[in-house]
Each structure stands twice: as structure tokens, then as C-alpha cells.
Amino acid sequence: MPAALAISGLAKSFDRPVVKSVDLTIRPGEFYALLGPNGAGKTTILRMVAGLLKPDAGAISIFGIDALADPVAAKQRMAWVSDEPMVYDRLTPLEYLDFVAGLWQVEPARARAAAHELVDWLGLRPHANELCGGFSKGMLQKVALAGALVHDPQLIILDEPLTGLDAGSARQVKDVLRQRTASGVTVIMTTHILEVAERMAERIGVIAEGRLIAEGTLAELRTRIGRETTLEEIFLDLVAEGTEQGQDAA
Ligand SMILES: Nc1ncnc2c1ncn2[C@@H]1O[C@H](COP(=O)(O)OP(=O)(O)OP(=O)(O)O)[C@@H](O)[C@H]1O
């Protein structure tokens, strides 16, 4: 079976190199967290995977599909959830989900069932028939997540999905993601909430200055650091070890 996501030699520069020859392989059903300091290049990597930004170099394969050569086929297998939710103000959550399902040509009865299930899972039922225009950012984030999942993607790519959510909403989103991975779906997400990476991710990748500087299970990362400590300490040590700034400070 091909990898859910295989990236090799991925590179991108803006006014300077931001992603520098990143290789990453995620197996089907895996929950993978991408950590890294602000500006490390995490979002840029995910935007390239989601087909929103053209890499300068490298290859991206999604379940064996060359995402650069056949972006439409690749996009059908994945969902992209940005940290800036884009939802239509003049639609209710159910109307929005119906609209998105239509774009994906999901069979109407299946789409309706999926929409109602997501609305319930994400606690949107009391607002299911209200216009999204009046929603808080957290509620919009949940509607956007529901929209991304309505076509049953096999790879879910999320950029900071829990930022700004209250405890109850964060729990609902985590439960939806857990439920999806339990049924074999692959998840890759960026987060600054180390506890989320620690509790939810099977493997963690650390990006610093555009490079993947470390990767593994929490136990593997601990072994690499050589002491029994928290993910926060591991993260700070790895970043210090893997960046010019950190090396200068050491
Ligand atoms: N469209 C763009 N044009 C110019 N520079 C950009 C663009 N997008 C990102 N960058 C720059 O690329 C670098 C990496 O940004 P990116 O958003 O990938 O980082 P990140 O690791 O996701 O950071 P954060 O944790 O703060 O969200 C930053 O210096 C950012 O300013």
C-alpha cells in the first residue's frame, strides 16, 4: 500500500529559502503532528501539499498519486483545514455543508447523513439553521472543519485546528479527528499546543528554519535527547540543536 503522504526534496523560497529540501513519509491511518517555532515553514509545507502553493522543487505523492502532476485526483483524497476559516456568511452550517458536498459531487443522501453527523459531533446542532455570518471564530472553525470532512477524505491536513477554541470545542474537534483515525483516516496537523501533539500524535516531526530536524514517536525523541523529560523540553532542545540561532545561543 502506498504512503498516505510522501514528500521528497520539497523546497520553497519567497524572498529567502523558507522550506529546504524536506522529506516526509506518513503511513495510512497515522496521526502525525508537525511542530516548530513561528516562521519555521510548517504552513508553507502544508500549503504545498494541499495544492495551494507551487513548490520550487520536490515531489508530493498522496496515496501514490503525484499531487503536482494530477492535483485534482490528489485533492479528492484529502481535506485542507486552514487556520483562517472561510465560510459563506449567508449560509447556515447545513446549507454550507450541502453546498460543499455538491461541489464534491457526494451522493445527496450520503452527504445529508454526513452533514448531520458532523453537526452533532461538533456541537453545532443548536446553530444548524442560523446564518454563519453571526458566528464566532471558533464556531466558524468548526463549520470549516465539517466542510472539509463532508466528502470523506482519506488524508486530513490541518493548520493549527485548535487555536482559539474553548475547551469544549477543542474536545469536540479532537474527538472527530480521533474517530476518523480510528476508521483508518490519516491526519497531519501543525500545532503549538504540545500537549495535543503528546496525547494525539503517533509521530511528531519538528521543523526549524525550513528543515525537518527531528522525527519520531515521543519515546524516540526522548531517546535522541538522552533524558526522560517533557515534550516541551525535548522540543526546545531539538530546536536549539537544529537551528543556527539556537547553536549561537548555546
Ligand atoms: N506568501 C508569502 N510571501 C512571502 N513570505 C511568506 C509567504 N508565506 C510565508 N512566508 C514566510 O515564510 C516563512 C515561513 O512561514 P510559515 O507560515 O510557513 O511558518 P510557520 O512555521 O507555519 O509559522 P507559524 O507557527 O508562526 O504559523 C515566514 O518567514 C513567512 O513570513
Comparing CA positions, the residue from 247, 178, 211, 220 lying closest to residue 34 is 211
44 touches ligand 1 (CB under 6 Å): yes
Q: Encode pLDDT of 155-179 as tens digits.
A: 999 999 888 889 999 999 999 999 9
- CA-CA distance, 164 to 83, in Å (whole number)? 10
* Residue 244 confidence (pLDDT): 67
- 93-103 and 137-149 are packed helices; what angle lies between their axes, rounded to 10 degrees? 30
Nearest-CA residue for atom 1 of ligand 1 = 14
Q: Encode pLDDT of 61-111 as tens digits.
A: 999 999 999 999 999 999 999 888 888 899 999 999 999 999 999 999 999
Comparing CA positions, the residue from 30, 76, 50, 63 lying closest to residue 184 is 30
Comparing CA positions, the residue from 247, 140, 198 lying closest to residue 239 is 247
Q: Which of 18, 84, 160 to mutate to test the pocket of ligand 1 (most atoms within 8 A of CB)?
A: 18
Residue 67 CB partners (closer than 8 Å, separation 6+): 49, 51, 60, 61, 74
Nearest-CA residue for atom 4 of ligand 1 = 14
